[in-house]
A = this chain, B = another copy of it.
């Protein structure tokens, strides 16, 4: 998709203004900008950025936004641009100028309260390193890949694996450049003097308005940290049968809702671990689906169950022991054949023990890595992936229903059914991974056919998406259809009021400014 109504001369004029203000080295074009294409669909020219600009300060972000508004040229924001399953830094409208915020990388830590304030360029790796440098008194929450932006992940409604793993739910305050180039601070930061990390200020809380949003460019946000526990106890629950998934979800909902497990349990099949060991064709040279007996052998070789759940307990040894007994009780009740294993690690020795932990165990202690990148190589070295990620009620009945809907659609297009489930107390995020060869347009097209068939079918049954790739954002937003798409009409009313020139990330999450609304792809 491109925006034919933008005159190339306006782009040039905007970039010229930006060069004068930010310096030539802050503007990337040609090959230098290739990194900011969608890494998992590199041949798709329709979403190539025209150029990339890299401001170093808030004032420079303001200058970029003002230049864009002056010349009527749309921008697209990325922090690190590592949300690869969703498009990386690639804009919805091809030919847009990408504002990449990697150069803004300051971290502040409030050691007394356990709070991090980060700029968009701060990666999870950077935050972990800063906390380590300070003695590891506080731990962060992180997604599996540590190279991404803490702020970017949070702003995109991303998830991690700790108590604060629902990152967007735990942002007390942020700073944002509005579409007119002015600056706003939210929550208690809306006062000159407050340093209280209260969840909101006085009057309507507008912080969440800038997450998964094109209403501003977030330049700083606050996030709580977890105190280092006396004992860190990662759990593994192996369930032997395919049908165990429902009762396992029930058990995790009960345990998280009652507060016995305080982080976000993750349920997976063996495919992720299998992919980290070797590519698909070394496990099985046939088509889809992998037969049950082959899958069973895979589980045995990897010492995994049919379903595998990780979660963790944190706290004083006695509290962890008491909680563990309760976990065993609830799991036994719901999934009698499941096996629960646990490691007990001293919180203060976590970094010495890190080698003895699996990557998932490290992750629940807020230590991300890059090992999960290996899983993309399931179909060959040049792997890419697309995620289908609906949210459902966290119940046995709902997870079964989601599988019934998703699996046939996925397999009909030649993909392995590869679920990863996150139990977020009462709701469940059902991540379904489609791994393909990123230089093979046909399998990429097949992946998008899955998305276009699966989402409407899921939505009809009550399972709506939480996040989406730039190519299908309109279709995903379409699913929120109550009262003739009241939510989209409302959000676009806000968009038009705040961004009359339509410059900030048009089309993001299916929200279009009036000026570009004709570009919406209605299915």
Binding site for B on A (CB under 8 A): 112-115, 157, 163, 166, 168-169, 172, 178, 182-186, 188-213, 215, 224, 227, 229, 253-254, 257-260, 262, 314-316, 318-319, 321-323, 325-326, 391-395, 398, 424-428, 459-468, 476-477, 479-483, 486-488, 490-491, 493-494, 496-498, 509-511
A485 and B202 alpha carbons, distance in the complex (Å): 12
- A203 lies within 8 A of B464 (CB): no
- Name 13 interchain pairs, CB-CB below 8 A, sorted by A: A114-B257, A168-B199, A185-B487, A191-B480, A192-B481, A193-B459, A196-B462, A197-B393, A197-B427, A204-B208, A204-B212, A259-B314, A316-B322
- Residues in B with CB closer than 8 Å to A112 are 393, 395
Interface centre among A193, A195, A483 (most CB of B within 10 A): A193
- B184 lies within 8 A of A486 (CB): yes
Copies in the complex: 2
- Select from chain B the residue with minimum beta-carbon distance to A317: B322
Per a CB cutoff under 8 Å, which of B203, B314, B315 touches A212? B203
- B113 lies within 8 A of A191 (CB): no
- A482 lies within 8 A of B204 (CB): no
Interface centre among A185, A204, A326, A486 (most CB of B within 10 A): A204
What 8 additional pairs, Cβ within 8 angstroms, besides A193-B462, A209-B209?
Answer: A157-B200, A205-B208, A205-B209, A206-B491, A227-B258, A318-B322, A318-B325, A497-B497
- Residues in B with CB closer than 8 Å to A254 are 227
CB distance from A102 to the nearest CB of B (A): 24
- A393 lies within 8 A of B209 (CB): no
- Residues in B with CB closer than 8 Å to A490 are 178, 184, 206
- B185 lies within 8 A of A393 (CB): no
Per a CB cutoff under 8 Å, which of B427, B468, B511 touches A196? B427
CB distance from A356 to the nearest CB of B (A): 24
